[in-house]
Amino acid sequence: MILIKNGTIVDPYTNRIEKKDILISSKIEKIGPNISPPPSVELTIDAKNYIVTPGLIDTHTHLREPGEENKETILSGSYSGAYGGFTSLIAHPNTKPRLDTPEKIKKLLPSIKRAVIRVYLSSCITQNYQKLVNIKKMLTLGVVKFTDDGDPVLDERILRKALEESKKHNTIISLHCENSPWAEKRLGKNYKLEPMLVREAIKVLEQVGGNLNISHVSMEETVEIIGKAKRKGLPLTSETTPHHFILTEEDVKIYGVNAKVNPPLRTTYDVTAVRDALKEGIIDIIASDHAPHKVKPSRWEKAPYGMIGLETTLPLTLTELVVKHKFPLLQTISKLTLNPSKIYNLPGGKLVEGETADLTIINLNQKWEIKVEGFKSYSKNSPFDGWKVKGKPIFTIVGGKIVVQRD
C-alpha cells in the first residue's frame, strides 16, 4: 500500500479540488483528511506541494511496432508515456503492416504485456481499404477503437457499416479526415479536406447512428461543423493536439521539418478556434498524436509527417491553457483523464474509492526547459525542444505501483 499525504486532489469526476490524503493498493482504498498509515503501508508520499489527478490517458499514440522499431517500440513508448505522466495510451494501427486482421493484433499481445503502463490497441477500420474489418473479433482481442490512421474512409458504404457495428458493439469509429496519398489519388489535393470529410461523415452518422470520433481537429470550419452536430445531440466526440492549439503555419519557418504534421499547422484564426472549442466543450480530448521519427530529412518534400508528444503534452497543455489562457484546471485535466476514460470505456479517469489506482502527481509550479535529448522516446523530432514550460509530472502510478518518480 501507498499513502499519499497532503496532496491537492483534482478530480473532474467529482468536480473537486481539495486537500485530501489518498490510500491506495491496486485500487483506491480511501480518500479523506489526515489518514493514519495502517501497518500495511510500504511508502508514504508527501504531496504537499503537488496536485493529484487521475492517471493521464492518451488516445492517439503511434508506437511503430511492428515494422519501424528503430523509431519506437511498445515498450519504449510506454516508458515515454510514463515519463509524460500517462498511465494509459491507445496505440494506433498505421504500423508496417497495418493492423487490420486478428492475426496481426494477436502478434502484438506479448509486447503489450511487457509495457510499463496500460497500452491498448486500435485496429484499422478497413482491410486493404476495401472491406470492413471483423469488428466483433477485434474487440474480443482487446481492441478499443477503430481508425484508418492517416487515411480517411472514402467509401460511404464501409463507413455506414462501421458506424452500425459501433452502435451494435458499443465501440468507437475514429476518423482521420485529412489529406493522404490514398485520399489525394481520389480527391486531389485539398487544403480544406478536413471540414469536407467531417461534414460528410456526420451526415452518415445522422442517418445510421453509432459512435463517431474526429481525430486531431485543426480548423475553425471543422469546429463549427462539430459544434452544430453536438448541439443536435449526435453521438459525436472529437480530439485535438497541443501543436494544433499552440503552433501556427508561421512556425514552420522557425522549426522546419519538425513542424511538418498532418493535418498541417493552420492559421492563427484556426488555432484560436480550436482553443476556444476546448474551453466550450466542443472538443472533448487532448491527445499527443505522438509520431516518432529518428531524424527527418532536411528537405520538406522528403520529410515524414509528425512529431513526438508523449513527454510534452502535459506541460504544454498546462502552460498554454491553464497558465497563459486561464483555463479552469478541472476542465483541462478532464480532457486528459475523465473524458478519454468515458469515451473509450477505459479504467481510471476518476479519483473515487474502489476505482483503479492509476494516478499522476504533478508539480504545477515547477518551471523547466524541455530537452528532447533526455526523453525516453527513441525519437527526438519535436519543435518544442528548448521551450520553457510550467508544470511537471512527478509520480506516475499504475495499478498502485510507482512506475516513474521524477525530480
Secondary structure of 176-222 in HEC code, one letter for each residue: CCCCCHHHHHHHCCCCCHHHHHHHHHHHHHHHHCCCEEECCCCCHHH
Cα–Cα distances in angstroms (integers) from residue 48 to residues 18, 21, 62, 244, 356, in the given order:
12, 10, 35, 34, 23
| Cβ pair 138, 102 in contact under 8 A | yes
Q: What does the pLDDT profile of the chain (407 residues) look like in tens digits?
A: 999 999 999 999 999 999 999 999 999 999 999 999 999 999 999 999 999 999 999 999 999 999 999 999 999 999 999 999 999 999 999 999 999 999 999 999 999 999 999 999 999 999 988 999 999 999 999 999 999 988 889 899 999 999 999 999 999 999 998 766 666 666 666 668 899 999 999 999 999 999 999 999 999 999 999 999 999 999 999 999 999 999 999 999 999 999 999 999 999 999 999 999 999 999 999 999 999 999 899 999 999 999 999 999 999 999 999 999 999 999 999 999 999 999 999 999 999 999 999 999 999 999 999 999 999 999 999 999 999 999 999 999 999 999 999 98
Q: Which domains does the chain have, with CATH numbers?
A: 53-344 (3.20.20.140)
Q: What is the pTM of this model?
A: 0.97
The per-residue pLDDT for 193 is 87
| Cβ pair 329, 38 in contact under 8 A | no
Cα–Cα dist 245/239, whole Å: 11
The per-residue pLDDT for 151 is 86
The per-residue pLDDT for 178 is 79
pLDDT digits (tens, 9 = 90+) for 180-212: 666 666 666 666 889 999 999 999 999 999 999
270 is catalytic: no
| Cβ pair 396, 57 in contact under 8 A | no
Residues 6+ apart with CB under 8 A from 212: 163, 166, 172, 173, 174, 175, 201, 202, 205, 234, 235, 236, 237
The per-residue pLDDT for 150 is 84
Residues 282, 272, 366: CA angle, nearest 5 degrees: 90
Cα–Cα dist 292/117, whole Å: 18
Which amino acid would we find at residue 400? G
The per-residue pLDDT for 177 is 87
What residue has cell string 469509429?
173
Task: Specify whether the backbone of 120 is left (phi greater than 0), alpha (psi in -120 to 50) or beta.
Answer: beta
Residue among 401, 397, 372, 374 at smallest CA distance from 387: 372
Selecting among 149, 289, 358, 385, the annotated active-site residue is 289
The per-residue pLDDT for 172 is 98
